[in-house]
A and B are shown apart, each in its own frame.
Chain A
């Protein structure tokens, strides 16, 4: 079967290029969904903006940094309280959001003075904080405020601070993906190489493209510690601004999320000759493979096998308990992009779960190449899905569980399908061996929730009672 034109898309036939149903014998040479293309207005697409790709996904994770958003208050409000990335310093990055609160007069007369004032105010309010990222937004980009000039001025006046600028208004690109790109390239060009780290091990890595969702970073940090590997910088889970300035000193870049942070790994290779190694951190098989790959780079194979054996012995029995009960369940992954290819084979190999539909908001065609290679036949692969397509796909694929965000989760509840938060997790972390047991547990609890069985019953119907008794 080639590309699919859904019933709901009869009036927007260009959507056919974005939806693929994989049949046996086909591969991504034959069919590949178009991706990273402009959104059709009015479709109820689920995409966000490039500003949020920079601020909410990457920059805002830094645990010691003021996030100054130069624009109206909404951009600061909206990218606050929407993520679950804690830190080991009391979650500073979750607690605060800064805005220059641009008003009409600033639009008319320019917002540079306002920005300067707000930057000083923010440093004055929290004198212990010395680092800042400044973001432009749609209106400040349109009026052409010279943000870099303001940053220069403030830095000259306050010699103990360091400030990074991200010029990535919401309308740039077609999705949050553009924001990942802009922040990555900006950071490596302007900030990497400006701080020298203390080296404590001969084995050093940067761990790139992990944002410490519900403590993912901590789980993996324990593995690196046991291998004796020093992480120079996490980019950017539980990380500091200055740690990310010293990324040039690592011997290896280990990349988890290639979509949001592959750019910086490539640049670190180009500028500093640091090799890039991509891994998957979700799933037993993948995690073991990842540890082996990283360890063999440094000649730590023995330690790696010890670690894998120990972790497997500790967690495998629990995983198997869930596998037995999840075997054959159908799953849909309705998230941003990379988790499609990280998860589809992991849940199949380790849990016997079949992924029957997957959608990506901001993935590129190379992400679909990966996911179609790893994914099953008889599965839908969708780029930039919209709400009506969602209903139609759910009806065709009939998943038992959906990994998606809370809004779509609220929607599928009415369809009697349980959801697990595929962005921020229900009860994570989900990375690593123990994390994948958490993920399996959340899937089990979701698919065995008795309320969904009750929801299907119409109490006016006598036959329902009989069905109940028989069950």
Chain B
């Protein structure tokens, strides 16, 4: 029984698992307070990403475009950046950060972003004396990497541009990766329980925002300019996703000597244990009784399910690589068999990932196949050709028709999950995340037993 890791053989894509880098740049940027990113490219690169965020969160986020038209594509588009920055600065007086996010077209035509930013600063100094707006170059050509690397690049660029060495502040940097507001809330809960003053990068907690009597708009990122500046003065950084934010933590270590731990992505009990121990190690704060209790509740709930319902269930998982690896580890904790893992881009580091190496060394009692640079056809094809049999699919909503057509139960997890209500509010990481995810899996399997009349009578007495 082995774990193999290969790349997709086909060159093209049938049903992409990720979108392109600029989308990741935009997702990182909307996590910053008083920030509107300016995407330098065609208008679709912005309009569709805003729609994607709206589909997932059922919320609106502000993202601007430099609206590159034909003239700019032929003669260069840097003037449109300067104009865009000025228009944003004039019309949004509270604005403090503008990431300038490139796309395929503007990288191909070779617009000089850094030079243009210098020109923008001159313009801002003249037109808006006394006001500070930080411009952040984010190079995210769409023909490299994916939304995953685009997110990583933008977090790194924001930290690089803004981090400023001052007095040690005793805070802990937490880079959760591309997660949901529900996950951020879970992390904040741990920091609170442990008495740790933390900076979450990016703090998307308020993406889950209310309708209020005064009709005010509260949907925005909560990571401030000061938070980003202060990352250089933290007592340490914890990166929960190797490919989404860890680059920024590494930068802080190399540039400012901020100790950094790459903690496993906190899916499941053991990974969360490691996270809490790592927080404790970096801050010197003990793990409190309350979290022992939290852990016990999750174990208690999952024990009801694991060897009775989950054992031997074959699972395919697709989505962001850190999440997929974390979910595979979680699945094995509850006795499921993650037989197929799909990563959706060609990042060469996946094959050297220490967690993958561990899976290869582990004495698995099933065969596990990992496919890099995969599209969703890799999953659909295997199901159609009957080279794989699955009891469960875990992944985001773009794969919904594979499950629907093959009549395989599917649990939505990751980004985007637009075809299920409210998932962004609930944690999938941490103890509570493990418990809720486990229970969602169980309820999905139970509903499937009922629809297909497959031993549904078992639940008569459970």
Contact = CB atoms under 8 A, between A and B. Distances in A.
B105 interface: yes
Contacts of B398: 77, 80-81
Given A45-B43, A138-B42, A138-B105, A96 B15 contact: yes
A53 B396 CA distance: 26
Interface string B181-220: 0000000000000000000000000000101111111110
B11 A138 contact: no
> In this complex, which of B43, B51, B59, B216 has the most chain A Cβ atoms within 10 angstroms of its Cβ?
B43
Contacts of A143: 108
Contacts of A408: 60
A48 B12 contact: no
Interface stretch (B138-146, B266-274, B430-438): B138-146
Contact of A99 (B13, B41, B42): B13
Nearest to B59: A410
B118 to A, nearest CB: 18
Contacts of B304: none
Contacts of A71: 104, 142
A406 B54 contact: yes
Interface in B56-79: 57-60, 62-70, 72-73
Interface stretch (B83-91, B225-233, B255-263): B83-91
Given A42-B88, A101-B12, A410-B60, A139 B142 contact: yes
B19 A78 contact: yes
Interface string B31-64: 0000010100111110111111111011110111
B427 interface: no
Given A74-B22, A170-B45, A406-B54, A117 B12 contact: yes
A20 B69 CA distance: 25
B234 interface: no
A415 B142 CA distance: 35
A125 to B, nearest CB: 6
B309 interface: no
Nearest to A91: B401
Contacts of B90: 11-12
Interface stretch (A266-274, A307-315, A455-463): A455-463
Given A170-B45, A171-B72, A413-B211, A42 B85 contact: yes
B22 A43 contact: no
A133 to B, nearest CB: 15
A8 interface: yes
A95 interface: yes
Interface residues of A, number: 77
B362 interface: no
B108 A77 contact: no
A12 B91 contact: yes
Interface in B351-408: 377, 381, 397-398, 401, 405
Contacts of B13: 73, 76, 98-101, 118
A103 interface: yes
Interface string A203-219: 00000000000000000
B103 interface: yes
A107 B143 contact: yes
B455 interface: no
Contacts, number: 243
Contact of B64 (A44, A76, A95, A414): A44
Interface residues of B, number: 82
Given A11-B90, A456-B213, A42 B19 contact: no
A173 interface: yes
A173 B44 contact: no
Contact of A42 (B16, B38, B41, B69): B38
A382 interface: no
> In this complex, which of A45, A72, A405, A413 has the most chain B Cβ atoms within 10 angstroms of its Cβ?
A72
Contacts of A455: 211-213
A82 B104 CA distance: 22
Nearest to A451: B211
B67 A38 contact: yes
A413 B381 CA distance: 41
A125 B142 CA distance: 25
A28 to B, nearest CB: 27
A405 B51 contact: yes
B18 interface: yes
A97 interface: yes
B340 interface: no
Given A47-B47, A74-B20, A407-B50, A42 B108 contact: no
> In this complex, which of B10, B13, B15, B55 has the most chain A Cβ atoms within 10 angstroms of its Cβ?
B13
B50 A414 contact: no
A32 interface: no
Nearest to B22: A74
Contacts of B397: 81
Contacts of B312: none
A175 interface: yes
B335 interface: no
A94 B53 CA distance: 20
A52 interface: yes
Contact of A171 (B15, B54, B69): B69
A72 B146 CA distance: 9
Interface of A: 8, 11-12, 38-49, 51-52, 68, 71-82, 94-104, 106-107, 114, 117-118, 121-122, 125, 137-139, 142-143, 169-175, 387-388, 405-408, 410-411, 413-416, 455-458
Given A78-B44, A101-B13, A107-B104, 12 more contacts: A38-B67, A42-B64, A51-B44, A52-B47, A72-B142, A74-B19, A96-B15, A170-B44, A171-B72, A171-B73, A406-B54, A411-B60
15 contacts: A41-B38, A73-B16, A74-B21, A98-B13, A101-B16, A103-B346, A104-B141, A106-B143, A121-B11, A121-B12, A138-B73, A170-B43, A171-B68, A411-B217, A414-B216
Closest 7 CB pairs of A and B: A74-B20, A118-B12, A42-B84, A49-B44, A170-B42, A41-B84, A78-B48
